Amino acid sequence: MTALAALLLRDMRLAVRVGGGALMGVLFFLLVVTMVPFGVGPDLKLLARIGPAILWIGALLATLLGLDRLLAADHDDGSLDLILMGHAPLELAVAAKALAHWLTTGLPLVIAAPLFGIFLNIDGSAIGIVALTLLVGTPALTFIGLIGAALAVALERGGLLLPVLVLPLTVPVLIFGIAAGDAAILNAAPFGAPFLILIALTLTSVVIGPVAAAAVLRHGLD
């Protein structure tokens, strides 16, 4: 347990130090959210209608940013060799790394989402619900991305491959996350069903992601 806690703390520390990825995600998120209204024009009704979708797509892209270095950085400096030789099971070690990534990249996005929602003319109660869907859904993005991060190690210089491999897998999360957010704003569709499916997707990916990533890393031993 101390080994996993040490790994979690180290990764979080690295993320908030100079050159870390923690603030970069939020900054990128801010850029996406501020640029879209310039693109679609000053139609407040339209902005409120597509607001949750923009927040979700911004969060998805911000999460992917830096995910390719999650394991590759440790591979490049030899840390991954020692992580493989540690007492902690590899599945839990990569899960700890993914958790650190979510706490430093995903969670700040969730916290920033209510503020950015104002830019998109989403009203008070709906902002809370969109933030809630992001809180529940963004761990799924990180843990699905973990599989891609492991592939980026196995296939050297596979950084560009990561979004191509990971984005299709995140489509269900995106669909149900936005469906739950829309339900809250339009009051047209039920909120419960898509929200519960979103929770299910997150729980599934939290289990499958680390197992698959560890399998990829072990297979890549050569």
Partner 1 sequence: MRLSGSELECVRGGKRVFANIGFAVGAGEALLLLGPNGAGKSSLLRMVAGLLRPAAGSLELAGANCDRSLAEQAHYLGHLDPLKSSLSVGENLRFWTRFLGGGRGEGPDEALRVVGLERVGDLPAGYLSAGQRRRLSIARLVAVERPIWLLDEPASVLDADGQALLGEVMRRHLAADGLILAATHAPLGLDPARELRLGAVLP
Are 64 and 162 a contacting pair, CB within 8 Å? Answer: yes
Q: How far apart are CA 202 and CA 101, in angstroms?
A: 15
- Residue with Cβ nearer partner 1 (41 or 222): 222
Query: Which residues in the 83-122 window bind partner 1 by CB under 8 A?
Result: 83-88
- Residue with Cβ nearer partner 1 (2 or 125): 2
* Cα-based angle 107, 113, 115 (whole degrees, multiple of 5): 130
- Residue with Cβ nearer partner 1 (86 or 168): 86
The stretch near partner 1 (CB under 8 A) out of 22-30, 75-83, 104-112, 169-177 is 75-83
82 binds partner 1 (CB under 8 A): yes
- Residue with Cβ nearer partner 1 (38 or 77): 77
Pair of tokens at residue 179: 């469906």
Site string for partner 1, 5-24 (x = CB under 8 A): xxx-xx--xx--xxxx----
157 binds partner 1 (CB under 8 A): no
Nearest CA among 74, 91, 61 for reference residue 152: 74
At residue 131, φ and ψ (nearest 5 deg) are -65, -35
Q: How far apart are CA 213 and CA 216, in angstroms?
A: 5
- Residue with Cβ nearer partner 1 (45 or 87): 87
Q: How far apart are CA 157 and CA 145, in angstroms?
A: 16
Residues that bind partner 1 (CB under 8 A): 2-3, 5-7, 9-10, 13-14, 17-20, 74, 76-79, 81-88, 221-222
